[in-house]
Amino acid sequence: MAKILIVEDDKDLNDGLKYALSKEGHLVVQSYGHDVIEDFNYDLAILDVNLPRISGFDLSKNFKCPILFLTAKNLEKDILEGFSLGCEDYITKPFSLAILKEKIKVIIRRNLVSTCYSYKGLIYDQDNKELEIDGISIILTKKEHQILNYLIQHRGKVITKNMLLEGIWDIEGEFVNEGTVNVAINRLRKKMDTENKWIQTVFGIGYKWSEKI
C-alpha cells in the first residue's frame, strides 16, 4: 500500500485513476491542478504536464518521492525533459490502465522500503494487515484496517468524517452517513485504544491520529 498523489486537471480521468488505484489498496490523494499543493509527502506522484497553475515539470521539482508523468505531451524533447528531471517513468496519453497499474507496482516495489509503522509499542504492518500493541496481536476487520491505515497515513492532521466517507466508503460504492463512521471508529477504539490515546476526537470536526502519548 502506498500514498499516491494524482495531479490531473481532467476530472473524469483523475477520478477514474483514484478509483482504480484505491481498489489496489493504495491511499490516493487528488489535485485537479487548480489548487496550490502544500503537502509533498507521498510515496509516488502522478503528474500531468499541462496544468492550469504550473507546469508538471516545474511542479515535480518540489517532490522527493518518485515521479510518474502521465501526459499528452508526446514529443521526444518532452519525454527527454521528463527523464532529465529524474522521473521514474513517462507515459503518454492515451494509455493502458492495466499497464499503468503494473508500472506503478514496479515503481513502488523499487522505492518503498517499508510499509511498517511503529510507535511506542504499536506496530502496524500495512501490507500484511497485522496490528500489534504492546506485544499483543489485534484482529481487525477489513474496514477497521482501512480506517486505521487512513488515520496513520494522515497522522498529524485532522481528518473530517466526510474525508473518511470519501476515502474509504465511497471508493467501494457504499453510501453511508456520518453515523456509520462513528460506529466504525468506536469499534476500532474498543479493540486497540480503550483509553482513546491513539485516535483522538476533534469535537465538531472529526478525528486525529496522535503521536503525543
Distance CA 80, CA 24 (A): 30
Contact yes or no for 42/66 (Cβ under 8 A): no
pLDDT in tens, 31-53: 998 888 888 888 899 999 999 98
The pLDDT of 185-203, averaged and rounded, is 85
Give the helix/strand (H/E) hosting 45.
strand 44-47
Residue 36 and residue 83 in one domain:
yes
Distance CA 208, CA 213 (A): 13
Q: What are phi and psi of 44, to 5 degrees?
A: -160, 140
Residue 60 and residue 23 in one domain:
yes
Give the helix/strand (H/E) hosting 179.
helix 178-192
pLDDT in tens, 67-96: 999 999 999 999 999 999 999 999 999 999
Pull the grid cell for residue 122. 504499536
Residue with cell 511503529: 118
Residue 8 and residue 60 in one domain:
yes
Residue 47 and residue 103 in one domain:
yes
Owning domain of residue 162: 116-209
pTM, rounded to two decimals: 0.59
Residue 10 and residue 102 in one domain:
yes
Residue 120 and residue 106 in one domain:
no
Residue 70 and residue 107 in one domain:
yes
Contact yes or no for 102/110 (Cβ under 8 A): no
pLDDT of residue 163: 87
Residue 107 and residue 149 in one domain:
no
CATH of the domain at 85: 3.40.50.2300
Residue 144 and residue 74 in one domain:
no
